[in-house]
Amino acid sequence: MTHNITHHKPHIWARALSWLANPKGLNNLDKLRNAVEGKHILLTGASFGIGEATAYRLANAGAILFLVARSSDKLQQVVAKIRAGGGQAYAYSADLSKPEQAKALIETMLAEHHYVDILINNAGKSIRRSIMMSENRFQDFERTMAINYLGPVQLVLALLPSMRARKQGHIINISTWGVRMPPGARWAAYQASKGAFDIWLRSVALEIKAQGIDTTSIYPAIVYTRMSAPTPWMHLLPGMTTDEAAHVIERAIVDKPIDIIPPFLRPGEVTSVLFPAPIRKGMQLVFKYSKDSEASIKSAQKGL
Ligand SMILES: NC(=O)c1ccc[n+]([C@@H]2O[C@H](COP(=O)([O-])OP(=O)(O)OC[C@H]3O[C@@H](n4cnc5c(N)ncnc54)[C@H](OP(=O)(O)O)[C@@H]3O)[C@@H](O)[C@H]2O)c1
């Protein structure tokens, strides 16, 4: 099964710089099969984008997948495709930003399948909107915290007891490069909420490693999906297709590193520590000469 569901074709020069901008993946079905065949994998955000591509790849390698998202029809389509190709997948439609739905999902899934070997925390919501346009939009901050921070915390808390009892487990978080760099203008809601879970998991990782539970935080830059599509300039920059992003998750599963970062990130972090003032000035200029996206303005006007 190959399913390339990339939305936009990136520019040639963007593809040429891909080696610098994107974390390295692993495209090796045999190694993946060794790591996941018969394993129970809970994958959130499996209806679109990175999660959908990852679901097909893991199913091909023989994993038993529990797929979560809100769009129940789309999730059923993903499951149907996987089953048609001989794979094993189960759809659990839930809004992870709603604690009662996340609780019900975990209870049902554990009652039906007993344990999870690998949790891939991928579901997420991005908002890029200036603070001036957000002054009457407290909901932007509530909803990003609910899905990018509190929902994943609830899932991990619910899964830790059975992982600890089995002395094994792997929690993979799809974070974002932005949380490792100084904050960018217009990204307050997204970066704060992604940063909250990133820090939470890195702290928890120190405690659970000795109990046999691994964690991997992945820091992608740009992935060409419906999430990045409303900000058109993102598709001019070097990014990954959803299949390439799935290969990065594949590397996380096979090698279990503590993190996976794009090559530019470490020099970027060092530069931001050594030269904070010019970086801040540069960020202010970027803000001055850029705009809120049409999509962001329209959804704010409609009160969405
Ligand atoms: N795209 C990028 O450039 C980029 C860069 C760095 C990191 N990331 C991270 O990568 C992850 C996947 O993003 P993507 O680009 O693949 O985005 P996407 O195509 O918009 O997919 C997001 C997924 O999350 C699910 N989701 C959203 N809200 C949910 C909720 N309340 N409850 C349950 N599921 C929910 C969506 O399904 P439903 O709508 O059906 O619920 C969808 O399956 C995110 O965590 C994102 O922060 C993306």
Residue pLDDT, tens place only, 18-42: 999 999 999 999 999 999 999 999 9
pLDDT reading at 109 higher than 70: yes
pLDDT reading at 200 higher than 50: yes
55 Cα–ligand 1 center, Å = 13
Return the closest-CA partner of residue 254 out of 89, 61, 16.
61
Look at residue 7 in the predicted model and tell me its pLDDT. 53
In the chain the domains, ranked by start, together with CATH numbers, are 12-301 (3.40.50.720)
Residue pLDDT, tens place only, 140-154: 999 999 999 999 999
Q: Which of 7, 18, 42, 48 to mutate to test the pocket of ligand 1 (most atoms within 8 A of CB)?
A: 48
Q: Find out whether the beta carbon of 189 lies less than 6 Å from any atom of ligand 1.
A: no
Ligand 1 atom closest to the Cα of residue 74 is 40
210 Cα–ligand 1 center, Å = 31
Alpha-carbon distance 271 to 66, whole Å? Answer: 41
276: how many CB neighbours lie within 10 A of its CB?
Answer: 11
Helix then strand then coil, in percent of the chain rounded to 5, is: 55, 10, 35
